[in-house]
Amino acid sequence: MSWELEVRPRKSTRYAIGSALFLVVSFVTVAILLRHSDTGVYFRPADQAAMILLGCALAGGALLLARPRLRVSAKGVWVRNVFGEKFVDWDLAKGLSFPDGSAWARIELPDDEYIPVMAIQANDRAYAVDSIRRFRALGQKYATSAEPTAEQANDVTASTDLP
């Protein structure tokens, strides 16, 4: 399928990858050094393997923060956060907002509900603003109720001043 917009977080992905590498290297180093040092406790190869596996498990947990993604097409919007992926049809998507003080954007749904979009994060600054503008342009193109609310119109101006 061809996506008209695909967004992934930038800074948090770099931090997640760096943290995962640090965890693996640290746990492998500790596992190797504990076997050869006199600590009063006997570390066997099984203990070393468990230590390495623990580091890999923690690194896998850190890499979950690199998973968020937003994909947009004529059919609708696919939002993947840390756990799970949701599809939102254009008829349900009432817009994309970035409330003051929020770490990430959210897709507004009927009845005051929303879906967080971790792919568009405040720490990405200009990239986040560009992503929001591109999403809204596609929303006007595909959504049946493409009229932005006054709050959403103000969010574009406010989102250019991200901290």
Residue 96 sits in a domain of what CATH number? 2.30.29
Residue 141's identity, in one-letter code, is K
Q: What is the pLDDT of residue 128?
A: 95
Question: Are 9 and 118 a contacting pair, CB within 8 Å?
Answer: yes
Query: Quick one: 53 and 72 in the same domain?
Result: no
Query: Quick one: 88 and 118 in the same domain?
Result: yes
Query: Quick one: 72 and 123 in the same domain?
Result: yes
Confidence class of residue 17 from pLDDT cuts 50, 70 and 90? very high
Nearby residues of 8 by Cβ (< 8 Å), 6 or more positions away = 66, 68, 69, 70, 119
CB-side exposure of 129: number of CA atoms within 13 Å?
Answer: 13
Residue 48 has pLDDT above 60, yes or no: yes
Of 65, 83, 109, which residue constitutes the final position of a domain?
65
Question: Are 125 and 162 a contacting pair, CB within 8 Å?
Answer: yes
Q: Which domain holds residue 136?
A: 68-159
Q: Which of 144, 126, 129, 124 is nearest to 96 (CA)?
A: 129
CB atoms within 10 A of CB 145: 13
CA 49 to centroid of chain Cα atoms: 31
Both tokens assigned to 61: 């947990």
Q: What is the pLDDT of residue 35?
A: 73
Query: Quick one: 81 and 129 in the same domain?
Result: yes
Looking at beta carbons, which pairs linking 44-51 to residues 24 or more positions away fall under 8 Å? 51/27
Query: Quick one: 128 and 52 in the same domain?
Result: no
| Mean pLDDT rounded to a whole number for the chain | 89
Residue 67 has pLDDT above 50, yes or no: yes
Query: Quick one: 36 and 99 in the same domain?
Result: no
In this structure, of 8-12, 121-125, 144-148, the range with the lowest mean pLDDT score is 144-148
Query: Quick one: 91 and 147 in the same domain?
Result: yes
Query: Quick one: 49 and 119 in the same domain?
Result: no
Provide mean pLDDT across the span 56-81: 97
Rg over alpha carbons for the chain, rounded to the nearest Å, is 21
Query: Quick one: 60 and 76 in the same domain?
Result: no
- How far CA 50 is from CA of 19, 30, 32, 56, 98, in Å, comes to 20, 12, 12, 10, 43
Model confidence pLDDT, tens digit, residues 78-110: 999 999 999 999 999 999 999 999 999 999 999
Residue 99 sits at the vertex; the CA angle it makes with 119 and 90, to the nearest 5 degrees, is: 60
Query: Quick one: 103 and 46 in the same domain?
Result: no
Domains contained in the chain, number? 2
Of 65, 97, 117, which residue constitutes the final position of a domain?
65
Q: What is the pLDDT of residue 163?
A: 46
Confidence class of residue 152 from pLDDT cuts 50, 70 and 90? low
Q: What is the pLDDT of residue 160?
A: 47
- Whole-prediction pTM value? 0.79
Query: Quick one: 48 and 126 in the same domain?
Result: no
Of 26, 46, 65, which residue constitutes the final position of a domain?
65
